[in-house]
Amino acid sequence: MAPFTRSQALQYESLRTSFVKPHMQPFNENLLTALDRADTVETAFGALLAAAQELGFENCAYGLQLRVPISNPKVLTLNNYPSVWQLRYQEAGYMATDPSVRHGLLSRAPVVWDDALFASTKEFWSEAREQGLRVGWAQSSLDGFGVGGMMTLSRSSELLTPMELREKESDMRWLVQAAHMSLSRLMKSKFVVQPEAPLTPREIEVLKWSADGKTAAEIGDILNISVPTANFHIKNVIHKLKAANKTAAVVQALMSGLLG
């Protein structure tokens, strides 16, 4: 993630101070207000980082795995880690071996960083600690469209005690869901392909039946239209979505939320 500009830094400071307890507003209410006003990824992440720091963490990271392309889903990441570590993590391909990430792919339960978790990746764990990433907590999430996200909260010192977890984990888990709702909405809109021209109601209807495995002849019978007309609508959809064929068009429309 690129460093904040002066304008973004001032905006972040305003967000950070809004979470200070003397305001006597509920933690969740402050965050929801900030996220509702956020219209960019940077603004939303700034609000989440401010909330994470209010909970006692220095760093916040969020990763989103899109469902497209199917063969190699795109992963988008945001964090305020040291730039040296961001570069090293990317160049070494650590996402593929990071035990915290692997845990998140298999379970929605939170995980706390410890030596046991990183026992099989000691070099990775040593490098992370050298960059000040010594204490951490992470949890993944999955929305109704099958889009997965993961949030990590970390700091350079002060172990995460059972008492602190009891006091803060409900807010931490809530933060994960708030992050996924806000950032997935903003991030997906940038990377999920939308048609240049909107699909017509009839095109959507034909595509829905295609998604259910119906042939052009069967769709024609269902919608009381001719086979050539059904094929005409399918060809229009393929053209609008710039898809290779009907199957690709169906998948792309589903992933983009075009089929409701």
Number of domains observed in the structure of the chain: 2
- pLDDT tens digits for range 36-78: 888 899 999 999 999 999 999 999 999 988 766 666 777 889 9
One domain, residues 99 and 212: no
User: What's the start-to-end Cα distance of the chain, in Å?
Assistant: 32
Q: 239: domain range?
A: 201-255
One domain, residues 139 and 107: yes
- Residue 117: inside a domain: yes
One domain, residues 214 and 186: no
For residue 187, what is the domain's CATH number?
3.30.450.80
pLDDT value for 22:
47
Residue 226 has pLDDT above 90, yes or no: yes
Q: Are 74 and 91 in contact (CB under 8 A)?
A: no
Compute the distance between CA of residue 208 and CA of residue 189 in angstroms, rounded to an integer: 22
Q: Please name which of 246, 174, 236 lies closest in space to residue 200, comparing C-alpha atoms.
A: 236
One domain, residues 67 and 181: yes
One domain, residues 15 and 91: yes
For residue 241, what is the domain's CATH number?
1.10.10.10
- b/e sequence 47-79, b meaning 16+ C-beta within 10 Å: bbbbbbbbbebbbbbbbbbbbbeeeeeeebbbb
Tokens coding 209: 């039946």
Which residues does 5 contact at the CB level (< 8 Å), separation at least 6? Answer: none
Average pLDDT of the segment spanning 240-258: 83
One domain, residues 121 and 237: no
- Residue 51: inside a domain: yes
Compute the distance between CA of residue 116 and CA of residue 129 in angstroms, rounded to an integer: 15
- pLDDT tens digits for range 195-206: 778 899 999 999
pLDDT value for 14:
57
Residue 93 has pLDDT above 90, yes or no: yes
- Residue 222: inside a domain: yes
Compute the distance between CA of residue 47 and CA of residue 172 in angstroms, rounded to an integer: 14
One domain, residues 14 and 107: yes
Q: How many CA atoms lie within 13 A of 169 on its CB side?
A: 15
One domain, residues 108 and 158: yes
- Residue 260: inside a domain: no
Per DSSP, the residues of 188-252 read HHHHS---SSPPPHHHHHHHHHHHTT--HHHHHHHHT--HHHHHHHHHHHHHHHT-SSHHHHHHH
One domain, residues 142 and 245: no
More confident call, 25 vs 168 = 168
- Residue 65: inside a domain: yes
- Residue 158: inside a domain: yes
- Residue 1: inside a domain: no
Domain boundary among 191, 219, 234: 191
